[in-house]
Amino acid sequence: MPLLTLDDIEKAAPLVYAQMAPTPQYVWPQLCDRTGATVWVKHENHTPTGAFKTRGGITYIDWLKHTSPNIEGIVTATRGNHGQAQARAATAAGLTAKILVPHNNSVEKNPAMRSFGGTVIEHGHDFDEARVEAERLAKVENLALVPPFHPEIVRGVATYALELFTAVQDLDTVYVPIGCGSGICSLITVRDVLNLKTKIVGVVSTEAQAAKLSFEAGHLIETPSAQTFADGIAVRVPVEAAFAIYSQGADRIVAVSDDEVAEAMRIYYRTTHNVAEGAGAAPLAALIQEEDKMRGKTVGVILCGGNVDADVFTLVLQGKTP
């Protein structure tokens, strides 16, 4: 049974569109020439926070205000995009927002979260350590803990999948990055409620393969580290509720190296003049890795965000891998 119904997602759309417009999906000819496929890019880098997470922030905070009307603030953990989305939505709803990030987090995503009204707190060496601290603060400060994955987050995120599948109805395959899972689970959910046959391919980093290892083993596997500059997929502990969906609904999961991600970022900029962060470029990297298999097919790639630090992007454009 799907996580959400089509009615659930359609009712989320007015909430989302009250704060942002639907994002476009375009076929870019040079990407088609490069891969041998008809490539549709879903531009989730064109949201008010520069990433798809904006949608889930809107629906989650709306749900929270209705179910917990006396709550005064939220706390959550992030590498940046989820935190921006939740800070933006929480502040607009009159709530405080504490955002936990690991030390040495993005020097540009941190001030972006502050600009949306969040109080940024550094803790731990990676996302998963920051997540544990967020859970502790929620208890001791009586804050609402916003998890990285929740049906109400997926309900908002799923509006991007509905836009894509409504606009392009003959997609053979869609490539999507896996962090905590709302992006891939929304695609699977909408694909299923629309009764489409599109294959959904998850993309992870070779340096953060927890989701891929878990998918192939059939049970959750944690990795000791997640050291990739593609911070949106730098997760070493899979989210069990998300795994339950993508373990059944994904066709396969592909791992791409940091070098492949950096090259995909360069290709995006050269061929479309869009800036893609590491996680945003990972789906294109996976398509290029599998281009022989996908030649002649109609394919979607989710450009889930464009929030990359300037110094990192400068290195990438110089032909280097951060």
Which residue intervals of 201-304 are DSSP H helices? 210-217, 240-249, 258-272, 278-289, 291-294
pLDDT for the residue numbered 251? 98
Give the pLDDT band of residue 128 (cuts 50, 70, 90): confident
pLDDT for the residue numbered 3? 78
Average pLDDT over residues 268-295: 98
| Cβ neighbours of 317 (radius 10 Å) | 14
Q: Where are the domains positioned within the chain?
A: 6-52+151-317, 53-145
Give the pLDDT band of residue 261 (cuts 50, 70, 90): very high
Topology alike, domains 6-52+151-317 and 53-145: yes
| Average pLDDT of every residue of the chain | 97
SS3 state at 47: coil
At CA 158, angle to CA 234 and CA 41, rounded to 5?
Answer: 70
pLDDT 10s digits, 205-233: 999 999 999 999 999 999 998 999 999 99
pLDDT for the residue numbered 121? 98
Architecture of domain 53-145 in CATH?
A: 3-Layer(aba) Sandwich (3.40)
* pLDDT more than 70, % of the chain: 99
* pLDDT more than 90, % of the chain: 97
Q: Under CATH, what is the fold of the domain 6-52+151-317?
A: Rossmann fold (3.40.50)
Q: Is the pLDDT of residue 124 over 80?
A: yes
Task: Give buried/exposed letters for 236-245 (b at 16+ CB in 10 A, else e).
Answer: bbbbebbbeb
The 3-class secondary structure across 94-149, one letter per residue, is CCEEEEEECCCCCCCHHHHHHHCCCEEEECCCCHHHHHHHHHHHHHHHCCEECCCC
Average pLDDT over residues 269-286: 98
Q: Is the pLDDT of residue 263 over 60?
A: yes
Give the pLDDT band of residue 2 (cuts 50, 70, 90): low
User: In 3D, which of 65, 115, 55, 122 has the Cα closest to residue 90?
Assistant: 65
Q: Is the pLDDT of residue 250 over 80?
A: yes
pLDDT 10s digits, 60-114: 999 999 999 999 999 999 999 999 999 999 999 999 999 999 999 999 999 999 9
Q: Is the pLDDT of residue 1 over 60?
A: no
Q: What is the pTM of this model?
A: 0.96
pLDDT 10s digits, 84-93: 999 999 999 9
Q: Is the pLDDT of residue 145 over 90?
A: yes
Task: Give buried/exposed letters for 135-173 (b at 16+ CB in 10 A, else e).
Answer: eebbeeeebbebbbbbbbbbbbbbbbbbbbbeebeebeb
Q: Is the pLDDT of residue 153 over 60?
A: yes
